[in-house]
Amino acid sequence: MNNCTATYRLYDDKADFRKKAESIAVGMTVGSWTELPQAKRESMQKHLGQVLKVDVHEPEGDQPGERYADVTIAYPDVNFSKDIPALLVTVFGKISMDGRIKLNHLGFSDDYLSAFPGPKFGISGIRDLLGVHDRPLLMSIFKSVIGLNMDELRDQFTRQALGGVDLIKDDEILFENELTPIEKRVEVCLKAAEAASRETGKKLLYAANLTGHTSSLKSQAKKAIQAGANALLFNVLSYGYDVLHELSSDPEITVPIAAHPALAGAYYPSQHYGISASVLLGQLMRLAGADLVLFPSPYGSVTMPREENMAIRDELITNALPMKTSMPVPSAGIHPGLVPLIMRDFGQDVVINAGGGIHGHPMGTEAGGRAFVQAIEAARQSLRLADYAEAGHPELKAALEAWGGER
Q: Which of residues 65-84 bind a second copy (CB under 8 A)?
A: 79-81, 83-84
Report, in Å, the least distance between residue 89 CB and a second copy: 5
* Distance in Å, CB of 406 to a second copy, minimum: 26
Annotate each residue in 47-66 with x if it binds a second copy (CB under 8 A) or - if it does not, as one string: x-------------------
Looking at beta carbons, which pairs linking 41-46 to residues 24 or more positions away fall under 8 Å? 46/1, 46/76, 46/78
Out of 7, 140, 211, 230, name the contact with a second copy by CB under 8 A.
211
The answer to whether residue 385 forms part of the interface with a second copy (CB under 8 A) is: no
Stretch of residues binding a second copy (CB under 8 A), selected from 3-11, 61-69, 188-196, 210-218: 210-218
Judged by CB under 8 A, the chain residues 148 through 207 that form the site for a second copy are 171-173, 175-177
Minimal distance, residue 214 CB to a second copy, in Å:
5
Segment contacting a second copy by CB under 8 A, of 105-113, 132-140, 236-244, 342-350: 236-244
Q: How far is the CB of 326 from a second copy (least distance, A)?
A: 19
Find the binding residues for a second copy in span 3-32 (CB under 8 A).
28-32
Count Cβ atoms within 10 A of the Cβ of residue 178 and give its class: 0-12 exposed, 13-18 middle, 19 or more buried. Answer: exposed
CA angle 309-94-9, nearest 5°? 40
Residue type (1 letter), 150: M
Instruction: Compute CA distances 7 → 122, 339, 376, whole Å.
Output: 27, 34, 38
Site for a second copy in 242-271 (CB under 8 A): 242-243, 245-246, 260-267, 269-270
Q: Is 94 a catalytic residue?
A: yes
What minimum distance in Å lies between the beta carbon of 189 and a second copy?
A: 18
CB-CB contact of 1 with 76 (8 Å)? yes
DSSP 8-state class, residue 372? H
Contact 114, 142 (CB under 8 A): no
Q: How many residues bind a second copy (CB under 8 A)?
A: 72
Nearest to 256 by CA among 245, 264, 268, 248: 248
- Give the containing element (helix H, strand E) for 185: helix 182-200
Q: Which neighbouring-strand residues pair with 5?
A: 74, 107
Q: Which region among 131-139, 223-231, 298-306, 322-330 touches a second copy (by CB under 8 A)?
A: 298-306
Distances (CA, A) of 292 to 63, 69, 258, 275, 349: 41, 33, 4, 20, 11
Q: Which helix (H) or strand (E) holds 368?
A: helix 365-380
Question: Among residue numbers 268 through 297, which ones bind a second copy (CB under 8 A)?
Answer: 269-270, 272-275, 296
CA-atom Rg of the chain in angstroms = 23
Nearer to a second copy, 188 or 304 (CB): 304
86 touches a second copy by CB under 8 A? yes
111 touches a second copy by CB under 8 A: no
Residue choice 6, 25, 69, 101 for contact with a second copy (CB under 8 A): 101
How many of the other CB atoms lie within 10 Å of CB of 307?
A: 11
The kind and range of the H/E element at 137 are strand 137-141
User: Among the options 40, 46, 94, 184, which is catalytic?
Assistant: 94
| 117 contacts a second copy (rule: CB under 8 A) | no
- Decide: is 353 part of the binding site for a second copy (CB under 8 A): no
* Residues with catalytic roles: 94
